C-alpha cells in the first residue's frame, strides 16, 4: 500500500461512520472525526465549569476564536483580521450579499446548485433593490461538460456578482 493510501486509511479511522462505507456529503451534515466530537464536548464542559454567559467564559470564547482565526489565516497565508467566523455558511454568504451596494439593474448570476438559504437571501435582495437575477445551469456539467464555458455564456455586462459554491450542498 502506498503512503497516500496508508494516510487515508489512518485518517478514515477517526470517522466511525466510515468504518465500512463511503459517505459523500458536504461538511454541514457529514460525519465528524472523534477528535472534533471530543473538542465539542470539552468546550461545553469548559462553559459549564466557568459558568455559561460569565465574564470568564466570554474571555475564553474570545481567545479561542482568536486562536482559530490565527490558525486558519496561517493555513491560508493571510492576516487573521481578514478571517470572519460565522455560525454557518448561510450567514457567511449573507454578509457579502447584503454588504454590496446594489443598484436597480445590477445582475446577479447564481448556479443551479446553491443552498436554499442563499437563494432566499438573493430573492429578498432582488425584491428590495430591483436587481436582475438569473441561474446558471452548472448541474448538467458536473459529470460532462465545461462549467467555465457555461458561466461565461451566462455572464452579462451588468453582472455584479457570480454566486457559485466550491462545494455543492446538493451533490457533495
Alpha helices (H) along 13-162: 34-50, 55-76, 89-99, 116-129, 147-154
pLDDT at 30 over 80: no
Domain holding 128, by residue range, is 89-163
What pLDDT sits at residue 169? 75
Residues 122, 104 share a domain: yes
What pLDDT sits at residue 7? 77
pLDDT at 48 over 60: yes
Q: How far apart are CA 44 and CA 25, in angstroms?
A: 26
pLDDT-based confidence at residue 172 (cuts at 50, 70, 90): low
Q: How far is CA 110 from CA 94, 98, 156, 165, in A?
A: 14, 15, 12, 9
pLDDT-based confidence at residue 142 (cuts at 50, 70, 90): confident
Cα torsion for 168, 169, 171, 172, to the nearest 10°? Answer: 80
81-97 tens-digit pLDDT: 999 999 888 899 999 99
Number of structural domains in the chain = 2
Greater pLDDT, 164 or 170? 164
Contact 164, 136 (CB under 8 A): yes
- Report if residue 172 sits inside a domain: no
- Report if residue 171 sits inside a domain: no
Residues 19, 67 share a domain: yes
Which of the listed residues 60, 82, 104 is the one where a domain comes to its end? 82
Report the predicted TM-score, pTM, of the whole model to 2 decimal places.
0.73
108-120 tens-digit pLDDT: 999 999 989 999 9
C-alpha cell at 53: 454567559
Q: Which of 16-25, 40-49, 151-160 has the lowest mean pLDDT?
A: 16-25
3-13 tens-digit pLDDT: 776 777 777 78
Residues 93, 75 share a domain: no
Amino acid at each position: 500500500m502506498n503512503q497516500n493510501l496508508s494516510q487515508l486509511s489512518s485518517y478514515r479511522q477517526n470517522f466511525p461512520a466510515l468504518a465500512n462505507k463511503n459517505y459523500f456529503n458536504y461538511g454541514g451534515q457529514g460525519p465528524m472525526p472523534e477528535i472534533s466530537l471530543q473538542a465539542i464536548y470539552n468546550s461545553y464542559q469548559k462553559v459549564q465549569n466557568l459558568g455559561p454567559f460569565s465574564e470568564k467564559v466570554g474571555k475564553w470564547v474570545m481567545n479561542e476564536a482568536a486562536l482559530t482565526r490565527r490558525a486558519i489565516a496561517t493555513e491560508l497565508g493571510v492576516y487573521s483580521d481578514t478571517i470572519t467566523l460565522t455560525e454557518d455558511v448561510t450567514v457567511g454568504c449573507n454578509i457579502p450579499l447584503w454588504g454590496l451596494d446594489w443598484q436597480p439593474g445590477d445582475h446577479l448570476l447564481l448556479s443551479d446548485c446553491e443552498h436554499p438559504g442563499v437563494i432566499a437571501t438573493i430573492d429578498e435582495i432582488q425584491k428590495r433593490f430591483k436587481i436582475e437575477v438569473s441561474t446558471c445551469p452548472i448541474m448538467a456539467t458536473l459529470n460532462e461538460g465545461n462549467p467555465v464555458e457555461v458561466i461565461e455564456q451566462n455572464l452579462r455586462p451588468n453582472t455584479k456578482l457570480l454566486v457559485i459554491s466550491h462545494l455543492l450542498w446538493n451533490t457533495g
